[in-house]
Amino acid sequence: MGELRYTEDHEWVRIEDDGIAVVGITDYAQEQLGEIVFVELPEVGDEIERGAEAAVIESVKAASELFAPVSGTVAAVNDALNDEPALVNEDPAGEGWFLRIDTGGDGSLDGLMTEDEYLRYVEDLG
């Protein structure tokens, strides 16, 4: 299992041993959103570009987007979120993952933050 990397938009990504990128939102993001009540996921097979909207998240407070931290083809989505979107609140870096992206071997994490860098970034947000 690869290490987590982070975006300034509070997404995390982990490149698995098979080259598939698992994507979700951070604990900080789910705290800011509050109780998540609906998630709109992409279709398996959709092409996604790094930085593009990949999913929609609705909470009791707001609607937000999940932006793809890597480019590739959607290999799987977490269908459990359709029935139980609160999984994102309960376990954002585990059972609350959103999608898996086949990067076609280009799982470049350039420009993404390490965990330490992300924690400092969030701290600076106040």
- Interval 37-50: pLDDT, tens: 999 999 999 999 99
Residue among 48, 25, 46, 28 at smallest CA distance from 106: 48
- Here the contacts of 13-16 (C-beta below 8 Å, separation 24 or greater) are 13/69, 13/70, 13/109, 13/112, 15/103, 15/107, 15/109, 16/100
Confidence of residue 107 (pLDDT cuts 50, 70, 90): low
Pick the CATH number of 4-124 from 2.40.30.60, 2.40.30.10, 2.40.50.100, 3.40.50.970: 2.40.50.100
Question: What is the chain's mean pLDDT, rounded?
Answer: 94
Q: Which segment of 14-28, 65-79, 101-115 scores lowest on mean pLDDT?
A: 101-115
Residue range 51-72: mean pLDDT, rounded: 95
- In 17-89, at which residue ranges do the beta strands (DSSP E only) sit? 20-25, 36-40, 47-48, 53-59, 63-67, 72-77
The CB-side HSE value for 99 (13 A sphere, CA atoms) comes to 29
Predicted confidence at residue 65, as pLDDT, reads 96
Taking only the tens place, the pLDDT of each residue in 10-27 is 999 998 888 899 999 999
Residue 126 Cα to chain centre, angstroms: 22
- Can you give the residue ranges of every domain in the chain? 4-124
Confidence of residue 101 (pLDDT cuts 50, 70, 90): very high
Dist. CA 31–CA 89, nearest whole Å = 7
Residue range 61-72: mean pLDDT, rounded: 94
- The pTM for the full model equals 0.93
Residue range 77-103: mean pLDDT, rounded: 96
pLDDT at 112 over 90: yes
Dist. CA 20–CA 27, nearest whole Å = 22
